[in-house]
Amino acid sequence: MTRVLAPDLLFDGTRLHQDMTVTVQGDRITAVTRDRPAGAEAIDGILAPGFVDLQVNGGGGLMVGADTDAAALAHICAAHRGLGCAGILPTLITDRPEVTARVIDATIQALRAGTPGLLGLHLEGPHLDPRRAGAHDLTLIRPLRDDDLTLLCAAARDLPVLMVTLAPEAATPDQITQLADAGALVSLGHSDCSLETARAAFAAGARVATHLFNAMSQMAHRAPGLVGAVLSGDAQAGLIADGIHVDPAALAVALRARGSGLFLVSDCMAVAGSDMDRFDLHGRRILRRDGRLTLPDGTLAGADLRLDRAMRTVVAAGADPARALAMTTGIPAALIGADDRFGHVAAGRRADLIVLDHDLTLRGPLAV
């Protein structure tokens, strides 16, 4: 079946265009042109590549955790496809060594099975700073050991993408270099480190910061911390733009400081794509109330966020719509080296397309 799509606006992964036509045959884009042939299917809104989300803790009622197998990963990917994501990195937060090994193996098996939308794996912890634990289980946080390093380097070689969030207090510069040399995308997060320690970790091979501003040393005028290292450097950083994790004024500062160095993440949990109002995490109850997820004491525990809402939040903070769209598509796809397959609209690509209203509200994936 061939469809000729004529949207009001086309976002190609970098820029917004008017008067463009996208031809789709089966599940492939066969042409992107400026002509508008008779009979083209008008789309009242924006046609864009599907989102790329690099921090997805769960969805469809499931968390990435001890019980995760290939089928669970397929279920989570399918839930996020309904939320506009063409590709995701399922994210395991701090857990026991045997759980980390099990989830790595499940991801390898799911990739071998061709699970749609599965890009690789994000391990957020357990090698973090307990002073910046957030909702992570303090009893499971520990420094990076030699056996951990061996496991992670092997996983980085076996997976198309392995993102590892760690605190530089919990890993040496040499360990960071070994991880990066093995192919891991090392991200600094959950850290109370100094500016100098952060810069040393970036020089050793870390390239990203996890959820900028959250669970990290803040920027003071004599102690710029990890936030200062990101805002004054060239590392990229994810943002949870729900208006709760980061104040809009801080978002505006980051947007002005960092050009194309920022991308949006959902940091979503099991409730994504469901009507659940609570779930358990390592034996602790997580409550869903008024657009936020918290422990009973009020500590934020991930986000109740869709990426279209995140885009609207950064637009309100000063980003133009094209930049907001790039922060959920082309920029994260390029960061993980997947921009040849995801994050752009071009002939020869899979037709992983979404339709949005002009205010960036997601209508849904384009059915192909």
120-160 pLDDT, tens digit each: 999 999 999 999 999 899 999 999 999 999 999 999 999 99
pLDDT at 9: 97
Kindly state whether residues 164 and 187 are assigned to the same domain.
Answer: yes
Q: What angle do CA 343, 105, 57 make, to 5 degrees?
A: 50
Q: Active-site residue 267, yes or no?
A: yes
Which residue has better confidence, 300 or 91? Answer: 91
Distance CA 285, CA 295 (A): 6
Identify whether 341 is part of a domain: no
What CATH number has the domain bearing residue 356? Answer: 2.30.40.10
The active-site residue, picked from 53, 129, 148, 267, is 267
165-216 pLDDT, tens digit each: 999 999 999 999 999 999 999 999 999 999 999 999 999 999 999 999 999 9
Dihedral sign for Cα 332, 234, 216, 189, please.
Answer: positive
Kindly state whether residues 204 and 235 are assigned to the same domain.
Answer: yes
In this predicted structure, the answer to whether residue 164 has a pLDDT above a threshold of 80 is yes
Kindly state whether residues 186 and 110 are assigned to the same domain.
Answer: yes
212-267 pLDDT, tens digit each: 999 999 999 999 999 999 999 999 999 999 999 999 999 999 999 998 899 999 99
CA atoms within 13 A on the CB side of 348: 3
Kindly state whether residues 172 and 114 are assigned to the same domain.
Answer: yes
Kindly state whether residues 360 and 225 are assigned to the same domain.
Answer: no
In this predicted structure, the answer to whether residue 284 has a pLDDT above a threshold of 90 is no
Q: Determine the 3-state secondary structure of 150 from DSSP.
A: helix
Region 36-43 average pLDDT: 88
What CATH number has the domain bearing residue 120? Answer: 3.20.20.140
**How far apart, in Å, do the first and last CA atoms of the chain sit?**
9
Kindly state whether residues 167 and 225 are assigned to the same domain.
Answer: yes
**What's the domain count of the chain?**
2
Kindly state whether residues 87 and 111 are assigned to the same domain.
Answer: yes
Quick one: tokens of 6? 């004529």
Domain limits for position 7: 2-48+348-365
Q: Which residue has the tokens 């903070």?
A: 317
Identify whether 170 is part of a domain: yes
Write down the pTM of the prediction.
Answer: 0.96
In this predicted structure, the answer to whether residue 311 has a pLDDT above a threshold of 80 is yes
Quick one: tokens of 347? 């002939």
Kindly state whether residues 153 and 12 are assigned to the same domain.
Answer: no
What strand order describes the sheet that includes 51-56?
Answer: 51-56, 85-93, 121-124, 162-166, 185-188, 208-209, 236-239, 262-264
In this predicted structure, the answer to whether residue 368 has a pLDDT above a threshold of 70 is no
